[in-house]
Amino acid sequence: MNPFDSYTPRAGERRLGDLLRNRPAGEGRYIIVGVPEDIGVRANLGRMGAAETPGAVFQSLAAMPCYEGVESMDLGWAWVDVADLQANSLQHQGPEAVSAWRELVTEVDARVAAVLTPLIAQGKIPVLIGGGHNNAYPLLQSLAATHGPVHALNFDPHPDCRALEGRHSGNGFSYAHAHGYLDRYVVLGLSEYGANEASRGMLASTPGWTSFPYEAWAVRGEMDFDTARRLALEHVQAGPFGLEVCADGIQGCPSSAQTMLGWSWESVAQTAYLAGQTGQARYLHLAEVSIGLCPEVQRPALARAVAWTALQFIRGCETPQF
């Protein structure tokens, strides 16, 4: 599938759609990857809506002006075809649905990894637009296939290291660690009310794993956000790392666990930019933005926020500061 097939050029203007619609999948250095599913979210007992996000974000990207500074980024695209799995997941209802969804997530894992692994092996940097946070697992799997055990910074109120009970959006990091893909791990913005006891125990007891609580800067003033972010970035710069961002922590952003607390899109974009500047970030994952839960009138603005954030990460990669 070419997500730019529906793009319509505008006379007298050059837009990203004019550049990207004629590029073969996987061509370029920074590959924006769409994974249109929310199976993993439902397998974690969450709400549907994330499957619609990649298509809307690609439409927003296509409409953005294209000029020399943007074209020099060497953007590309890829699409993970999971339409049959998404359709299959909708056939399951009742008590058996969760186990069926968790089995389907393992198939999503395989398809995502099949697209990402060769891209990363060629030195390309993916920006994955989800979809559920379950896709952290195949991202880390694909990165580790080239680099060995790698690191992750998760900007998220939840640690997503639940039990190995079958794959879903809440256990991508615990599975990645169990399979030897994930070494150092830090959760930036962990809510003290956002993790069960077992997850908190794993985060506290696993060597190289740590967190910087949201309440520490937002409520108690024990540190400021800039300090927490700097320390989190330093923690994962022992080698290649992935930057994970979950929409659950973005103020008012439609997601399975939507909140009015948390941080702004500007904070996410700046964090993505700074991560890119480290020279060690090997991917960006924007997970669980649920355009399907968003009022129709607000969907273009939300899609543009995701697309804009992705471009800030790429700009940071292009302007490293070691």
Q: What is the SS3 assignment for 75?
A: strand
Average pLDDT of every residue of the chain: 96
What was the pLDDT predicted at 72? 83
The per-residue pLDDT for range 240-274, each reduced to its tens digit, is 999 999 999 999 999 999 999 999 999 999 999 99
The per-residue pLDDT for range 182-217, each reduced to its tens digit, is 999 999 999 999 999 999 999 999 999 999 999 999
The per-residue pLDDT for range 148-176, each reduced to its tens digit, is 999 999 999 999 999 999 999 999 999 99
CA separation (Å) from 39 to 8, 116, 133, 169, 179? Answer: 31, 19, 10, 9, 22
- Least confident range from 66-75, 113-122, 154-163: namely 66-75
CA separation (Å) from 279 to 46, 184, 238, 246? Answer: 35, 17, 11, 22
* CB burial string 283-299: b at 16+ within 10 A, e below: bbbbbbbbbbbbeeeeb
What was the pLDDT predicted at 253? 97
What was the pLDDT predicted at 138? 98
What was the pLDDT predicted at 81? 98
Q: Among 269, 281, 271, 283, which Cα is nearest to 312's? A: 269
Q: Which CATH architecture has domain 16-317?
A: 3-Layer(aba) Sandwich (3.40)
Whether the per-residue pLDDT at 68 is higher than 90: the answer is: no
Over residues 135-141, the mean pLDDT reads 98
* Structural domain boundaries in the chain: 16-317
Which contiguous run of DSSP H or E holds residue 211?
strand 209-213
pTM exceeds cut of 0.95: yes
Distance CA 152, CA 235 (A): 9
298: left (phi over 0), alpha (psi -120 to 50) or beta: alpha
Q: What is the SS3 assignment for 34?
A: strand
Q: Among 61, 58, 53, which Cα is nearest to 253's? A: 53
What was the pLDDT predicted at 89? 98
The per-residue pLDDT for range 14-60, each reduced to its tens digit, is 999 999 999 999 999 999 999 999 999 999 999 999 999 999 999 99
Q: What is the SS3 assignment for 25?
A: coil
Whether the per-residue pLDDT at 94 is higher than 80: the answer is: yes
What was the pLDDT predicted at 131? 96
Distance CA 265, CA 286 (A): 11
Q: What strands lie across the sheet with 281-287, from one edge to the other?
A: 75-79, 30-34, 125-129, 281-287, 241-246, 150-155, 182-190, 209-213
Whether the per-residue pLDDT at 322 is higher than 80: the answer is: no
β-sheet bridge partners, residue 284: 127, 243
Distance CA 189, CA 208 (A): 17
Whether the per-residue pLDDT at 71 is higher than 90: the answer is: no
Q: Which alpha helices (H) appear in the chain, and where do they start and end? A: 16-20, 39-43, 53-63, 68-71, 83-89, 97-121, 136-147, 172-178, 197-205, 214-218, 225-236, 265-277, 299-318
Helix, strand, coil fractions of the chain, as percent rounded to 5: 45, 15, 35
314: left (phi over 0), alpha (psi -120 to 50) or beta: alpha
- How is 138-150 classified by DSSP, letter by letter? HHHHHHHHHHSSE
